[in-house]
Amino acid sequence: MRFKQICNHPSQWLGDGVWASDDSGKWDRLRELCEVIAAKQEKVLVFTQFREVVDPIASFLGNVFGRPGLVLHGGTQVAHRKALVNRFQEDESIPFFVLSLKAGGSGLNITAASHVIHFDRWWNPAVENQATDRAFRIGQTKNVLVHKFVCRGTIEEKIDALIESKKKLSTDLLEGASEINLTEMNDDDLLRLVALDLGSAIKE
């Protein structure tokens, strides 16, 4: 989990509250994507599994878009969640919605967004797909682009490869079987999972 936090931003693991954009490749990529989205006057959903990243991402995106968006996480009162979704759906001036994966990944209809960004990868692709489906609901009339952030040469790239290999073995009826179970991995596999591939990480 700490390796995954470092992939998001060193400040997440350090807890220093700095969140400098130059310290994270994901922050840079998020800016690049959202500058294009802003220029097209489109809306975006950003999902992260980490509650502590939600507010820093929202603050960063507020600067990119030049106006604030919305956030929803486990600490958001259930009674307020529908009102937040309605605001995002109806208010054209709100460009982005940052959600924690577990709190915002199911039961919401957010068809105003034409982009979905998974800022970090979850072990189970079914959970990610459920979050993506917030934008792919009845009433969606736009094409929706899905972006998944993966740091090259790190544990995230290996998680991505494991997810893809598990998907091939699972069926539609047994979708939960594609979840990665760390307790079933042997020591060598675990070491390969967390090993940093410097060659891939620094490749242009």
How would residue 195 be classed by pLDDT, with cut points 50, 70 and 90?
confident
Percent of the chain with pLDDT over 90: 60
Spatial separation of the C-alpha atoms in residues 82 and 84, rounded to whole Å? 5
What's the pLDDT tens digit per position in 111-133?
A: 999 999 999 988 888 888 888 88
Question: In terms of DSSP H, where are the helices of the chain?
Answer: 2-8, 10-14, 25-39, 51-65, 78-90, 101-104, 125-132, 155-169, 187-194, 198-201
Local structure of residue 17 (DSSP, 8 states): S
pLDDT above 80 for 166:
no
What token pair was written down for 79? 């009674």
Mean pLDDT throughout 31-57? Answer: 96
List the domains of the chain with CATH numbers. 2-149 (3.40.50.300), 151-204 (no CATH)
Q: Under 8 Å CB-to-CB from 64, ≥6 apart: which residues?
A: 30, 31, 34, 35, 38
- This prediction's pTM: 0.83
In single-letter form, the type of residue at position 124 comes to: N
DSSP symbols for 136-162: SSTT--S--EEEE---TTSHHHHHHHH
Residue 13 DSSP one-character state: H
For residue 100, count other CB atoms closer than 10 A to its CB: 22
